[in-house]
Amino acid sequence: MRGVAAMSMTVSIRPTVSVLVSSYNYAAFVVEAIESVLAQTENALEIIIVDDGSRDGSPELLRRHYGDHPKITLIEQANGGQLQAWITGFTRARGDIVALLDSDDRWNPDYLQRIVDVYAARPEVDFVYTNMQLFGDLDETMFKPGPDRDLGLSILLNAYYHRFQGAATSAVSLRSPLMARLLTLPPERAADWLSRPDDCIVYGADILGAHKVYLSDTLVGHREHGSNALKAFGPSPLRVYRHVVGSERMLEFYRQQAGITPRWLRMAKAEFRTKPAPTFWELRAYSWLLFQAPMPMAKRLEHWVGMVSHYLRSRRAR
């Protein structure tokens, strides 16, 4: 085992995984997605498929292929959007970990094994995401090559700076108690997220105090095609602005859930030190947060020196 999963040599009982698949009009792809789960070297506890009102025969196709499969549950609902599909499916989930999968994507055979390795070795980790290989209309990786990363905590970073620390849906997994907290968005807020609800999971997890780990290997295939929700989002200024408004409402909800106030900015140094190998960008961001904190300038400077020292020590250790 390498990278961040190797930081602890004590391996506990391996956590179980509920795979949550949201499906909408992807009959051409959904069987390939499910087969990639069944081909995993680490068995999932269950696969919960929520069909969100498909009109292309997807439910019939799924029943024909998997109607008798003991680990697969198919739930059909009226079209309510992907976030509502997750809310519906999660009510049936029994696993310690929830692994999300879009019905047009696929996992490498060792995906679940790799993420469960991290959760088993490091009980303090709440959220694991990986790099993705784009295929179909594009052939490239989602993120540039680099090391695995322990991102520590990022409560303040996302409560005030809004840094996306995650990946598209199919490369995201998290512990079930965290998922339960994230899915408490009220109906009027959930209605903002008919598509792209991974923003809620990624940003909300940070604000609620999730400890995140990133695995740099491309363990997930993300299909690029004309029907992608992200492509359909398009460059429309109206859609972009509505998304921004929905994002602000979502962030405000999670900030209120966490009880965050400007006084929390005094903890910028403490949060920065939860990151074993912070980047220079993170040093700049946390410096900005620190200098907004309601505390004497002398104390800010003292904390800033401590942050710089942590950054330099981590650089020397790499």
**pLDDT, tens digit, 9 for 90 and up, residues 12-46:** 589 999 999 999 999 999 999 999 999 999 999 99
Output the average pLDDT for the chain.
93
Tokens representing 85 are 């599909």
pLDDT digits (tens, 9 = 90+) for 262-299: 999 999 999 999 999 999 999 999 999 999 999 999 99
> Quick one: which of 275, 9, 45, 256 has its CA closest to 163?
275
Q: 231 pLDDT exceeds 60?
A: no
Across the range 44-64, mean pLDDT stands at 98
* Residue type at 256 in one-letter notation: Q
Contacts of 5 (CB under 8 A, 6+ apart): 114, 117, 118, 121, 122, 148, 213, 215
CA-to-CA separations, 304 to 226, 284, 288, in angstroms, rounded: 47, 10, 10
pLDDT for residue 7 = 47
Q: Can you tell me the distance from the alpha carbon of 52 to that of 58, in angstroms, rounded to the nearest whole number? A: 10
* Residue type at 166 in one-letter notation: G
> Quick one: which of 179, 116, 114, 172 has its CA closest to 142?
172
103 contacts 229 by C-beta, under 8 angstroms: no
150 contacts 275 by C-beta, under 8 angstroms: yes
pTM metric for this prediction: 0.92
